[in-house]
Structure 1
Amino acid sequence: MVTTRLTEALGIEHPVIQGGMMWVGRAELAAAVSEAGGLGMITALTQPTPDDLVAEIEKARALTDKPVGVNLTILPAIDPPPYDEYRRAIIDAGVTIVETAGANPEPHMDMFTAHGVRVIHKCTSVRHALKAQSVGVTAVSIDGFECAGHPGEDDVPGLVLVPAAADRLTIPFTACGGFADGRGLAAALALGADGITMGSRFMCTQESPVAPTVKERIVAGTERDTNLIFRQLRNTARVAKNAVSDEVVEVLARGGDFADVRELVAGRHGRKVFEDGDLDAGIWTVGLVQGLIHDVPAAGEVVRRTVADAEQILRDRLAMFASPAAV
């Protein structure tokens, strides 16, 4: 067992968190990760209403009695979801761990803290992590440039970002972006992190609700099969390389603006990819780490073998430095 500040702060067995992913973070996947000793995440906004979120939380609780978290991503929108209602639903459902992302978590901290909810905030820079620490979050997730979704605009990979965070933070943190197995967990711990958060790896598991063709594409994909879109708009996103994301890159490179790609990147099309398996129906997120994903195991197996392999790697490496007498 690998015990870290993270496992102690969250009351979990293994320092492995399933990242919150739109259309992916549902009860079956989250419960499977938690039951294996990690921390599974239900994605709040995947559920159409706060009442649906409560029902999804109860579904997960029927599958495991271990902690399950909820991801609440807060982004600017012309017609924003009722965030306050989702937040209240999370609290009323008795959830004690929330992953926030997308915006400063400070407006939500008083209510979450008052109800004993521990907050993990996703950050793509040390400066943002320090701000989150200052407003009282329990932990942060440090997302390197390798990650799926929005990696920020600094383009700093995890090999630098993780130890930079370790030098400045006093709260526990996970490393995210580029992690798929025990080698990654061992490396993250060596760099100063207290655990890892994995998204794409858990998306490609048996309990993941995405279509089989998506999982097959991830297994077949390499670390070169993603696109960075919205670079010119200073809202970079890493998505799977397909006909749609290629077109988005080309339109923006020619001087187009968001209005020219709005329909191409509409979220309903990405949902269709995950639900129907049409890989060119829209844009969908996956990280560089797909180059390290070669199978579709059970989510619990991912947790168990990641931790077991990390322990073995760390023991083997430490043995290299043992004195002859000790050996």
Structure 2
Amino acid sequence: MSYNSKDTVIIKGIDKPVLRIALGTWAIGGWMWGGPDDDNAIKTIHKAIDNGINMIDTAPVYGFGHSEEVVGKALQGKRDKIVIATKVALNWTDDKEKVFRDTRPERIRQEIEDSLKRLKTDYIDLYQIHWPDDKTPIEQTAIELNKLHKEGKIKAIGVSNFSVQQMEAIRQYTDLASIQPPYNLFEREIEKDILPYAKKHDLAALCYGPLCRGLLSGKMTKDRVFNGDDLRKSDPKFSAANFENYLAATEELKAFAKDNYNKSLLALAIRWVLDQYQGNIPLWGARKPEQIEGIQDALGWSLSEQDLKTIDDILNKHIKEPISPEFMAPPSR
């Protein structure tokens, strides 16, 4: 399956163009998503590749290694065609009850070896610091990442959930290729400074949560119940006090997408992220093959300036005080 040049982006340090929609595999790990389903997960990865996706984003903490293992298994015989983005610097207790930030050089060294083994590869295309660690000097972290780059174990370095100040600090010691912030129609904090910084320094932006934990899928209803360790139980947007307002916004957005473009709300939500910056790469989270449907619908068209204004008016009408994704931040070490 081929796409035009506007649908792809070059990430510094990586030798192949990347489709501007990547597969996100947090849910595939099972943790905080109701448990794993490996058979469906592998079928999902294969279907994503069949639909033109050539970048897969994962992390050790997604299922405490399980997501990486599933990705590694699914990519056997396909590795050379795929850009693998994984992460480093989230540690956890032996009982897996607590996750915390840890960018110590010895932790990075352990994690890279573990990730390479799980992913069944000898190099990582894009290696990202998952969360900043204020207990470890940034210079020590950067030096260790530079060593991995010189050893050929990683091709490019990125950061996730970093502020502009933190990005400036690490760029004193190493080159950055990308950032990974939360970004969607409902969570737009990065527009203040992080997105302009990415544009200024030509950083790819792997935008996680473009469907806002399913709110923008077009399939959520007010009677939806979240069970077990589902992270939406702790997301204020899904509380009774706020859920109704967000759903009202999605219903109007759904009608707008249908009436103006004959598109789904899901396609509109992804297209909106794509149109904010040519370097944006929304992470399409999926754990079942059918959840890959619709990727093509988000590509090959654009929203007009008037459309963007109308969308903002819809959001302002229903959501008076937008809620940030800060609830997801793990504690410091």
TM superposition score normalised by structure 2: 0.49
Q: Which has the higher contact order (CA 8 A, sep 6+)?
A: 2
Taking structure 1 as the reference length, what is the TM-score of the superposition?
0.49
